[in-house]
Structure 1
Amino acid sequence: MRIDLRGVGKGRRTEALPATTIGYESGRATLARAETEQRPTVLGLLASGRMRPDTGTVTIDGRADAAAIRRAIALVDAPDVSDPAPNVTVAGVAAEELMFAGVPSNPVSVARRLDKFGLRDVARIPIANVDPIVRLRLLTELAILRDDIEGLVLVSPDRHGGDPLEWWELAKRLADRGFAVLVIAGDASAAAIGAAAMIERMQAMDVDEVAEHAAIAEGGLA
């Protein structure tokens, strides 16, 4: 499955979202940059088929079908749209999401599910007070329990603080399980992830490759 957004914009003069082109697909984690308070959520709504763009197109496997996108894509933790109320406990969030997924959501079922996630020790903690990576792991694992979910759009995970490399690794692990994952975050997080990826590539090079790249960077090779 592949979702493509081509030149999508929202707002009378694209104030809500300027023209944006991005795609994400099964088995891959994709990072999209979006700054300001409103734009990440607007982009998330467009990318998950929950909002119609004023300009541009959104397609799934080459066809325009917003209903199919909505069925296939879970919109995770979008501010004021799909984020849980801050004072609800982890167990409460789990119960509600299990109900939406159409699976048992009684206290025993919730406890067993949190045990499976390794999160039973935080069951009584308000969702706003758990570590950012715990929050995101809980919400993504619950989201993929819903029928027909093939992808996830994660909105502004960096707003909760924490290390962006942690939630990026989580996104990549979800992609390794076959899901299409789009993460929408700010420039600072994107820069940190890009720097880490560059270091990882450099570490994977042999000595001669590193020397060649260093020479190119210094203008030593044509």
Structure 2
Amino acid sequence: MRIELRDVSKGRAERALPETALTYETGRATLAAAETEQRPTVLGLLASGRMRADSGEVLLDGKKNAAGIRRRVALVDALGVSDPEAAVTVAGVVAEELMFAGASPNPFAARRWLDGLGLGDLAGTPIGNIEPAARLRILLELAALRKGIEGLVLTSPDRHGGEPQNWWRLAKEFAERGYAVLVIAGRASQSVLEEER
């Protein structure tokens, strides 16, 4: 799967998102920079087929197919769109996502699932209070459970703090597992990761 954003923009005078071009594809982790509180989410919505661009186009394997992108790409932790409420327990977040994935959504199933990740001790903790690496691991793994998902768009992982290398390692791990992974982060995180390459 290959998703290409060709010179997309959003908003009057491109205020919501200036003209942006990028490609992400199966088996690869791609990092895109977007600044301000709103732009990473706008870019994530466009890249996951959930918002129409005001200019430019979004292509799936060379063709316009927003519905196909929506079916195959999960938008992960997008501020105000797909991020879990900070006060909800980790077990609560997991149980809800298990329901969407067609699995048993009860607290026992959620705890077993978390135990499988080695994170069972976090079950009763509000998700807003866990370390960034654990939060992102949980949310990415849950998104990957959904039927038909081939791509993951992770927005603003740097807003939770922690080292950029930690979430970038996660992104690469999911790419190695066969997903098309797009991570949208700030330029400071991008600079840190570029220095290590």
**Which of the five TM-score ranges fits, normalised by the shorter chain?**
over 0.9
Instruction: Name 2:130's counterpart in structure 1.
Output: 130
The structural deviation recorded for 1:106 is 1.3
Instruction: Name 2:22's counterpart in structure 1.
Output: 22
Q: Distance in 2 between matches of 1:108 and 1:135?
A: 19
The structural deviation recorded for 1:101 is 1.0
Instruction: Name 1:202's counterpart in structure 2.
Output: none
Give the alignment's TM-score, normalised by structure 2. 0.99
Instruction: Name 2:47's counterpart in structure 1.
Output: 47
CA contact (8 A) 2:92 2:107 kept: no
Q: Distance in 1 between matches of 2:93 and 2:139?
A: 8
Structure 2 unaligned residues grouped into runs of 5+: none
Matched length: 197
Give the alignment's TM-score, normalised by structure 1. 0.88
Give the partner amino acid of 1:126.
Answer: P
Instruction: Name 2:111's counterpart in structure 1.
Output: 111
Instruction: Name 1:77's counterpart in structure 2.
Output: 77
Instruction: Name 1:147's counterpart in structure 2.
Output: 147
Q: Distance in 2 between matches of 1:108 and 1:93?
A: 13
Q: CA RMSD in A?
A: 0.5
Instruction: Name 1:64's counterpart in structure 2.
Output: 64
Q: Distance in 1 between matches of 2:107 and 2:161?
A: 30
Give the partner amino acid of 1:61.
Answer: D
The structural deviation recorded for 1:100 is 1.0
Structure 1 runs of 4+ with >3 Å offset? none
The structural deviation recorded for 1:12 is 1.4
User: Does 2:37 match 1:37?
Assistant: yes
Q: Distance in 2 between matches of 1:77 and 1:93?
A: 12
Higher relative contact order (CA 8 A, sep 6+): 2
Instruction: Name 1:192's counterpart in structure 2.
Output: 192
